[in-house]
Amino acid sequence: MPRVFDVDVSVPKGYKGVFKFACNAAWPQNLKIGYHNEEGNVEPVAERNNTTLDDWETPVNESERDNVYTISGEYKDRYDRWQKSNVRKQQQGNSYRIGFDDGFGDGDYNDIVTTFELNKIH
Ligand SMILES: [Ca+2]
């Protein structure tokens, strides 16, 4: 299977997205969220790690387009270098579980995890 390093989620007009985080790893992990802005660039908007795991909410989308966010993860390898983690996105009811697996080969996709759900505001 090809390796996948990042996934996208979309927030439609009138909604906000809520991200919750968990980490189950001894090695340093980062999870990064980028926002696809109107200029077509991806700007960093949130980052979490092993010990900073507070929830993060997107703004309410007041535009006519879907707001797209890209989620990526990385871990520190045994040589103290940051490496991209593989990601897997699974739908669970009306939310998504986005789990990252670091390079140590156990395939659990829980080293750093976010769950994403949409809240309808208006
Ligand atoms: Ca793992």
Per-residue pLDDT of the chain (122 residues; tens, 9 = 90+): 678 999 999 999 999 999 999 999 989 999 999 999 999 999 999 999 999 999 999 999 999 999 999 999 999 999 999 999 999 999 999 899 999 999 987 999 999 999 999 999 99
How crowded is residue 118: how many other Cβ atoms within 10 Å of its Cβ? 19
Instruction: Provide the residues around ligand 1 (an ion) whose CB is within 5 A.
Output: 101, 106, 108, 111
Residue 81 lies in a domain: yes
Task: Tell me the CA–centroid distance for residue 42 and ligand 1, in Å.
Answer: 27
Residue 1 lies in a domain: no
Domain count, the chain: 1
Domain CATH number, residue 69? 2.60.120.400
Residue 29 lies in a domain: yes
Residue 93 domain boundaries: 6-120
Residue 63 lies in a domain: yes
Task: Tell me the CA–centroid distance for residue 72 and ligand 1, in Å.
Answer: 15
Q: Nearest-CA neighbor of 12 among 64, 70, 58?
A: 64
Task: Tell me the CA–centroid distance for residue 96 and ligand 1, in Å.
Answer: 19
Task: Tell me the CA–centroid distance for residue 39 and ligand 1, in Å.
Answer: 36
| Model confidence, pTM | 0.95
Task: Tell me the CA–centroid distance for residue 59 and ligand 1, in Å.
Answer: 31
